[in-house]
Chain A
Amino acid sequence: MNILNIDEYSYLKKKLRREPNELEQFIISAEWSEHCSYKSSKKHLKLLPMKGNHVLVGPGYDAGVIDVGNGYVVTVHIESHNHPSAVEPYGGAATGVGGVIRDILSMGSRPVALYNALRFGPVDRNSKFGSKNRWLLKNVVKGIADYGNCIGVPTVGGEVEFDKSFDNYCLVDVASIGYTKLENLVMNTAKKGDLLILGGNATGVDGIHGASFASKNLDEENRSAVQIPDPFLEKLLMEATLEAIENDCVKTMKDLGGGGLSCCLSESADSLKKGFLVDLSTIPLKQTNMTDAQIMISESQERMLYIVNEKKKLEFFKIFDKYNVNYSEIGYVTDDLNLSVVREGNTLACMPAKIIAHAPLLNRKFKQPSYLDAIVKSFREPEPQMDIKKLVFKMLSNLSICSRKWIYEQFDHEVGVRTVSKPGASDSSVIKLDEGKFLSFKLDGNAKHCYLNPYEGIIGCLAESLRNLTCVGASPLGIVDHLQFGNPENEEIFWTFLQTINGIRDYCKYMNIPVVGGKVSLYNETSSGPIKPCPVIGMLGLIDSKNKIKYPKYTSNQSIFVIGTTKDEMGGSEYFEYCLNVLGGKVPHVDLEEQRNVIESIKNLIDGDLITGVHDCSKGGMIVSMLEMALHSNIGFKVSVDKMPNKCSRLDYLLFSESHNRFIFTTNHDSKIIRYLKKRKIPYARIGASSNDRTCLIDYKGKAVFNSSLETISQSYHNSFTNLFTKSN
């Protein structure tokens, strides 16, 4: 079997001006895998706006770094572990959490929060792959819980979506936020003679070929590639590392993730513009009889590379001894710019780090997918549905909509004493920083919209994130993007990738929000085909006062306002796909100028203390937002939905449309609000008021179309997830 393909082999040979040996080819094949090299995506990612006033370190590093003032910085990163989780959900998800924590740690910051975005096929009992999907969901959640809980980093937010395109597969995205003083950031420097120290776990055959496993369509039999989690070791590694940083022992640090030592060493040497000499006989191994190539590409978890000055060595060792964490001097820094791998004096491999770290980039072809035309042709407008009550209850028990209490109660979301808004309580997570500031972070994705229109779809995700942040009084600092697609060699799939990049570029440039980090995950396919395009956005924002944090909550007898226009934009909506099983239609469009105006208005109303509660409107439509507010408040309402600003042709569309730029909020200051919204030319309406009891009443043109008690609504909304796992399977 060839280790490299012909093109890459010839390219390497030309660059080296000689034949590469076998070990060199293994090193190259790990680093030039799609997973590590981004060879399909890199050219296009450069188009994204990455600069901003607060951005200290942008994409391309282990984590983005943002200045939050008063001498403090926040670090942020997103990772996925899709392929491993699909074959071994518990270990795959757990090691995903471990990886993102080490990325945050690599910058010198303590991880203070974890988040996740999960995708599964339908898990209900009637679905074809329901039991397999349920097994994946249950074990992914447990894997994340066991790792995050044990290591003592709270999981404070997340989202989950179900779609047939994820049948027999899953997407496990994990993000983490770190927080530290500016002065503690590891500055990544090195000079000749500095020591290379490998700390943490020993190297074993677990995770061999992980990066190339993740750079191909899923092969379920290939189970040996899944890494084994050990959160207790990572906790000790984390504390030892932070103590070493505090004592100024670490000059450079890098996590060992995909591609193992090959990637970690070549990328660090290249970015430092130095050479490394590493002796393989010094690497602590889990077992004997490992080949040199296995040692170089193993992805055993809980390992970190440190560059330490000779003078600080003993202090560093003392700290690691205190925590009982293993370490080994594996080599030193040179000036020759090469990554040299030796064993007891014999050179096994020697190549310029720059060549290893820079795979030849590819020009992937692209074309508009034929499925888009086919969907347009086959689309028929569904008949108007009259039984609104039945539809509403169906929607509330939709697992992409209902309460995710079953998931987040398994996560310790309180450890660290920073969690201000508990999971499920507000539109976006809120954690407390020092110095009286608060940080919000929200993950959003919508595979159904992105499938039908990748460009509008991703802009919609970004717009939703910003609305969610706005509800808790946060101003955006930056985003991380996680771009998940099928096989990039497929021109149609690559087109959806490019459309997504264009969408992020256009939105972020217009809104002036920098991209501070991200990740690309390709080849997300099973034997039944590719996943729907599934970019996930994580937006980070800062809140300067606790008073600005608003919840989707009201008290009795408050006016309920809706702003923004509801349109017949039903394509990819939960209503079409989940309730009616209809594919196609127009995906909601975001008017960027309008969004800026609407966001600015909500912000000003919050600043002026005119709003009591506010909620974004997205998946499931305005009806879901209204009922969620009622559930959070434990108080009913009476509203007339025909008053909502709208261009809808029918009642079911009016209730379930997922048009953007809409909010629902409550107030005691009707006239001030009306005066303000008129001045800003924002479409608005006072659609009714909260009541004194626990009944939700909805009128349409004078006729009651929905009337239900909160007890009944709560049963659908709060118990659907739990019932799935507590009733006998």
Chain B
Amino acid sequence: MVRIGITVFPGSNCDRDVHHILNNVFHVDARYIWYESSIDNFDCIIIPGGFTYGDRLRAGAIAAHSTIMNKIMDLADDNVPILGICNGFQILVESGLLPGALIVNESLSFICKWMNVVVTNTDTPFTNLFEKNQKISIPIAHGEGRFIIDGKSYSKIRKNNQVTLEYWKNNPNGSTNNIAAICNEKGNVMGMMPHPERGSDRDLIPVGHNQSSILIFKSMINYFK
């Protein structure tokens, strides 16, 4: 059975949520990895959301320079799937595993709400069960989620099909070209601002939305079958 590691930094908040969903909804073997401990023997790593180091300096900046991130970079080289959610995405960008930057929302306020996003790349370990351009429901909650990237790099990630999720109709934070998630060139590292763990328990889906974001984790488990 697939073994998933969930990193826990000082200030991680969504580690418990991801752990709960993977263990109690999907019944897979998901374990916490305290940031000072060993990272061996995992098939896949999730860097969950939260406020690591209290967002000091910049969201994700301090965690990105921790020892465990060096090890995660090695795993990324070895094609191990690595998923960063929200603050996890910020950490991946700050560590250089993903291009671009995440800056303060255009509104300058934290924003928490349910959104619709479109899956634009179905060729990753995290999106392989979606249909191309499938519209899914998923909540966001961030203060620094505005993805920006220079024009040249944008052309490059577009050409490589690295944009994986785009906000549908409403852009909540001013991200370049509605980008909600991107992956690296090989596709094994993905960062996303929306929270799939919050859309995976059917009791928590608000009326008018669906449980389709559950396919993010399902894709990941499916990838190892």
Contacts and interface: CB of A to CB of B under 8 A. Distances in A.
Contacts of B111: 409-410
Contact of A235 (B14, B51, B206): B51
Contacts of B110: 145-146, 149, 410-412
Given A409-B111, A410-B112, A417-B17, A323 B10 contact: yes
A415 B54 contact: no
Interface in A405-439: 408-422, 425, 432
User: Which size bracket describes the interface of B in this complex?
Assistant: 20 to 34
Which of B17, B54, B113, B206 has the most chain A CB within a 10 Å cutoff? B54
Interface string A590-633: 00000000000000000000000000000000000000000000
Given A410-B109, A411-B112, A422 B206 contact: yes
B204 A152 contact: no
Contacts of A422: 114, 206
A150 interface: yes
Interface in B105-136: 109-114
A416 B166 CA distance: 25
A412 B112 contact: yes
Nearest to B56: A232
B143 A417 contact: no
B187 interface: no
A103 B133 CA distance: 48
B23 to A, nearest CB: 12
B203 interface: yes
A410 B112 CA distance: 6
Contact of B14 (A150, A413, A415): A415
A232 B13 contact: no
Given A425-B206, A546-B203, A551-B207, A409 B112 contact: yes
Interface in B186-225: 195, 197-198, 201, 203-204, 206-207
Nearest to B112: A412
A408 B109 CA distance: 11
A324 interface: yes
A254 interface: no
B158 interface: no
A232 B55 CA distance: 9
B192 to A, nearest CB: 15
A147 B53 CA distance: 14
Nearest to B20: A417
A236 interface: yes
B96 interface: no
Contacts, number: 90
A62 B143 CA distance: 32
B203 A413 contact: no
Contacts of A323: 10
Nearest to B25: A417
Given A232-B56, A412-B141, A152 B195 contact: no
Contacts of A421: 206
Which of B17, B114, B197, B203 has the most chain A CB within a 10 Å cutoff? B203
A150 B45 CA distance: 23
Interface in B41-80: 49-51, 53-56
A415 B141 contact: yes
A417 B207 contact: no
A357 B34 CA distance: 42
B198 A553 contact: no
A59 B12 CA distance: 33
A419 B205 CA distance: 9
B20 A149 contact: no
Contacts of B198: 414-415, 417
Contact of B55 (A142, A150, A416): A150
B139 A152 contact: no
A409 B11 contact: no
B21 interface: yes
A231 interface: yes
Nearest to A434: B24
B144 to A, nearest CB: 11
B112 A232 contact: no
Nearest to A325: B10
Contacts of B53: 232
B197 A232 contact: no
Which of A236, A322, A409 has the most chain B CB within a 10 Å cutoff? A409
Contacts of B112: 408-414
Given A150-B54, A412-B141, A419 B204 contact: yes
A324 B20 contact: no
Given A410-B111, A414-B195, A416-B17, A152 B203 contact: no
A543 to B, nearest CB: 12
A581 B16 CA distance: 51
Interface string A10-40: 0000000000000000000000000000000
Nearest to A236: B10
Interface string A137-154: 000001001100111100
Given A236-B11, A412-B141, A152 B50 contact: yes
Contacts of B139: 414
A583 B110 CA distance: 38
12 contacts: A149-B110, A149-B143, A150-B54, A232-B11, A235-B10, A236-B10, A322-B34, A412-B110, A414-B198, A416-B17, A417-B20, A417-B204
Interface of B: 10-11, 13-14, 16-17, 20-21, 34, 49-51, 53-56, 109-114, 139, 141, 143, 195, 197-198, 201, 203-204, 206-207
Please give me the 10 A-B residue pairs with the lowest Cβ-Cβ distance, nearest first.
Answer: A232-B54, A152-B13, A150-B51, A412-B141, A417-B17, A414-B198, A412-B112, A410-B110, A414-B139, A422-B206
Interface of A: 142, 145-146, 149-152, 230-233, 235-236, 322-324, 408-422, 425, 432, 546, 551, 553
Given A231-B54, A322-B34, 14 more contacts: A152-B14, A230-B54, A231-B51, A232-B10, A232-B55, A235-B10, A324-B10, A412-B110, A414-B112, A414-B195, A417-B20, A417-B204, A420-B204, A551-B207
